[in-house]
Structure 1
């Protein structure tokens, strides 16, 4: 059980199992050791259930995404492992260790501030805002392969087709295109909003190519009268061509959600990758179309002959 165990919402787990991929107006998002279902139209969050525990620790997920086959996977920052969420009323199932222990911030219990996304070909990617690195992830084992330095602090990843995108925070409040060959984060453009309190931005595409994001903020330090903002996370849309962000308003939900930020956003599975190229189709010799083309060529040739005779 998690440190903040709540009664499991088994019925809602079953609902998500049946509709998580197809119900596009909804997203799934982790918040500490819980999963919420977010209505993107009303910005309302509903508790789905707890993530469970692993190796004596609550599973704190940072980064969540669908694979092309509809599987829902998430990276865990505190356990440095990859998990699969089956939504059968049971806790998350461990896939395997990411092999990244000891690479995080020692002053924050080895935190890496991970984010995770899957491209249309099934390739999975993991970024660290602390280490500023990109890894490729084996979704079958959890094993990671280092790609390279991002050169920027990315707080969230999203994929569209074979393209990988990253979102910055208050340090560099911009949308980035991430080169999956080198790891380099290439700026697309600034969010264009007040960003001094933005802690993380968790983007996710819907099936139509719209880029949504859960935006979380840095709370005022205690002993402020209000130790946490009334609603810690906002819902936003981001223009993928310019990086411009439109804040839609706070994500509201149970009281628990007011004390923790969201740590990811998953809306739908990647659309199939474009495959193959268009090829010229032969026209049957006896078809009406072929006969029409032949007649046209004969008329053109006859016209050229008559024109040449007229010039003599």
Structure 2
């Protein structure tokens, strides 16, 4: 994330510089082959920075989603109403009392069931890391957009796969856990992004939360209209496997019309993730100006020396400028 932030700042800075150079050269020396070659070199450098940002973004979300994957099932399996979970919540709240909140930290997750808190901790650490790395707001939003897309897709697919969860009692537990997570994200300033990308999971859980007496009186048409985000195949799967009772068959009103296309896949695709759009912002730092901080100057000099040393090591021994 640190490299993604730095590469983005460099990209923004050089984009502004290149645009200004293009405007100047257009009037001063149009068609000059030397200047044209320089512009081609600049374009290649910008393309390299694009690649760095893309690669670092992919690596960030890969490692974060890999961590999330093992924690997400807790949202489906944890009973937030159990006495054991309530005792753990009380212990966590007592442990958090008296701890002073550091500047820039978001609300802690001590009020959440411990297993759900583990999931939220990934979001919290990701947010803190993005702030420490000074990641630009557009890239921060897109990073969390991808994390919430992954959360939605992974949880929804798991839910659809486990028809043992297709009952009102289990759905209410899931809804409560989901609301706790969404409330925490809202407090952390991520509520709008989370609501947008986790909408289909929320709609599916809401469907399963419909009281059984009302559900059995509903028709396919009304359920499809109320839950239009669900595909016909997904709605049919939910209704077919809904736990009405050991001897109770699904009502005839749940039968889909013959025109309904039930051939689609019930599972969401991870390939439908939102594309990464590189930001085009005004750079926050003017890199052409002297560095005002002596400490920052020292770090830049150290980094420059290190990179210069790497270049020297790649040269044959008789071409190096140091012994």
The structure in which a higher percent of residues are helix is 2
Structure with max Cα Rg: 2
TM-score by length of 2: 0.22
Instruction: Flag the structure with more relative contact order, 1 or 2, with Cα contacts below 8 A and sequence separation at least 6.
Output: 2
TM-score by length of 1: 0.22
